[in-house]
Amino acid sequence: MEVIKKWALITGALGGIGQALVKEYVNKGFSVIATDIKQPVGSVENVEFIELDLAELARSDEYTKSFYRRVQQFTQGQSICVLVNNAAVQTLAHSSKLDRKQWQSSFDVNLTAPFFLSQLFLDDLAKNSGSIVNISSIHATQTKKEFVAYATTKAALSSMTRNMALDLGDKVRVNAIEPAAIATEMLKAGFEGKEDKYSQLEAYHPIGRIGTPEEIAKLAVFLSSDDAGFVQGACISASGGIRGCLSDPD
């Protein structure tokens, strides 16, 4: 007898937030198709890994179709219930210096790929009254110097979320999370030896700390669950309150 599984497909699955997403969806009883441009070390129960370059997917219909066929092999023809567009690149450069390659690769990975990946799985998601969760960023609305490429892609990803919701109506829910700083291993490593700066960053947040990958993962699971059945086209801030802060001197 065929075993019906709940499949979630997650991009950037080997990154800081991606690993927490994979763990949380598995904990909630999903089987996960984990994708990344890098290769994983070892394997995990209920997780199937597929190597996927989103920049290539953004450019090539053929690559996109062949990725779909690989997913179908793993799911044995079953349709996915959840797509989490999590992978992104963060290219920092001043507006006077950013080159075309940096601009294009930021858009390919952070925006074009999430759109065409969503399009690729729309029929499958609709079959399961499924859901898309886009991991956007606080940079969609509040940003810093030299973030022009990253912030513009994230603003567009949030806009794409609101717009797709109109097309998808009652077929597939699509929502976004806009996290502020999240304590991934990489972020923490960047503050090694600079504990005072890390404490300062924490103190900037009204809640007194920065977020954890697990908190983002739990929010994603909630948004893709039936409990969030009326949440459609929303861009949910997860910022510890920093979203509302004005940094003018007192």
List contacts with ligand NAD (CB under 6 A). 11-12, 14-18, 36-38, 52-55, 86-89, 109, 135, 137, 179, 181-182, 184, 186-187
Nearer CB in complex with ligand NAD: 78/239: 239
Nearer to ligand NAD, 49 or 78 (CB): 49
**Nearest distance in Å: CB 97, ligand NAD:** 21
The tokens of 75 are what? 């799911």
How far is it, in rounded angstroms, from Cα 96 to Cα 113? 26
HSE (CB half, 13 Å, CA atoms) of 68?
17
Contact 202, 209 (CB under 8 A): yes
Pick between residue 55 and residue 78 the one whose CB is nearest to ligand NAD: 55
CB of 177 to ligand NAD, least distance (A): 8
64-68 long-range contacts (CB < 8 A, ≥24 apart) are 64/116, 64/117, 64/120, 67/120, 68/120, 68/121
Q: Which is nearer to ligand NAD, 57 or 172 (CB)?
A: 57
Whats the size of the chain, residue-wise? 250
Distance CA 88, CA 138 (A): 14
CB of 11 to ligand NAD, least distance (A): 6
Closest separation in Å from C-beta 147 to ligand NAD: 11
Closest to ligand NAD by CB, 93 or 187: 187
Nearer CB in complex with ligand NAD: 78/205: 205
Cα 88 from chain centroid? 7
Minimum CB–partner distance for residue 56 and ligand NAD (Å): 8
List helix spans (H) across 191-244: 195-204, 213-223
Closest contact distance (angstroms) between CB of 221 and ligand NAD is 15
CA nearest to 39, candidates 52, 26, 54: 52
160 contacts 112 by C-beta, under 8 angstroms: no
User: CB neighbours (10 Å) of residue 46?
Assistant: 13
CB atoms within 10 A of CB 69: 8
Please, what is the minimum distance in Å from the beta carbon of residue 34 to ligand NAD? 10
Smaller CB separation from ligand NAD, 80 or 111: 111
Backbone angles phi and psi of 47, in degrees to 5: -125, 125
Using Cβ positions, the residue closest to ligand NAD within the complex turns out to be 15
